[in-house]
Amino acid sequence: MDYMGIEKDRLHMSWVSSAEATKFIDVVTRVTDAVRALGPNTRFVKHQAKVA
């Protein structure tokens, strides 16, 4: 993922059954907090071309 410009901490994988609503909420909260703590991903920011 680093090669593609995505920091490894921005990708999370987890198995959650449709019967595990509480686990789903926990996983989403943890992932959201972790990604927010990283701040914006500046590797994918498009820069406008300067027109002379």
Which structure tokens are listed for 46?
């498009």
Dmax of the chain from CA atoms?
58
pTM over 0.85: no
pLDDT for 8 equals 83
pLDDT for 52 equals 66
SS (H, E, C) the chain: CCCCCCCHHHCCCCCCCCCCHHHHHHHHHHHHHHHHHHCCCHHHCCCCCCCC
Tens digit of pLDDT per residue, the chain (52 long)? 777 778 888 889 999 999 999 999 999 999 999 999 999 887 776 666 777 6
pLDDT for 50 equals 74
Q: Which of 6, 14, 7 is nearest to 31 (CA)?
A: 14
Which structure tokens are listed for 50?
């300067």
